[in-house]
Amino acid sequence: MSTLRKIVLTAALVAMSGGLSACTAFKSFSEVDALNEAQAVGSPFTQALAAEYRTFANSELKDMFDYPDALHFARKGLAAANGDVVLPEPIADWNLDEPDIQELGAARGRLIVAYDLGGREVAPVIAAKAQAKFDCWIEGEEENWHDAGGEKACKDEFLKYLAQLESQLQPAPVVEPVVQDGAFDVDPNAPMATENAMYLVFFDWDKSNLDPGALNVLDAVADEVMKNPPVSINIVGHADTSGPTRYNERLALRRANEVKDSLVARGVDASKVIVDAKGESELLVATPDNVREPANRRVNISFN
Q: What is the DSSP letter of 91?
A: G
Domain that holds residue 85: 3-167
pTM of the model: 0.52
Query: Beta-carbon neighbour count of residue 249 at 10 Å?
Result: 17
Which has the minimum average pLDDT: 114-118, 154-158, 245-249, 260-264? 114-118
Calpha distance 57→136 (Å, rounded): 10
Per DSSP, the three-state class of 136 is: helix
Contact 114/166 with Cβ under 8 angstroms? yes
SS3 content of the chain, % helix, strand, coil (to 5): 55, 10, 35
Calpha distance 237→282 (Å, rounded): 10
Q: Are residues 67 and 199 in the same domain?
A: no
Q: Is 161 a member of any domain? A: yes
The pLDDT mean for the chain works out to: 83
What CATH number is associated with residue 275? Answer: 3.30.1330.60
Q: Are residues 10 and 46 in the same domain?
A: yes
Q: Is 182 a member of any domain? A: no
Total count of domains within the chain: 2
Positive or negative, the CA dihedral 279, 282, 82, 55 is: negative
Q: Is 86 a member of any domain? A: yes
Q: Is 143 a member of any domain? A: yes
Calpha distance 36→41 (Å, rounded): 14
Which has the minimum average pLDDT: 2-16, 184-198, 260-274, 280-294? 2-16
Report pLDDT for 178. Answer: 55
Q: What is the DSSP letter of 236?
A: E
Q: Is 294 a member of any domain? A: yes
Q: Are residues 151 and 200 in the same domain?
A: no
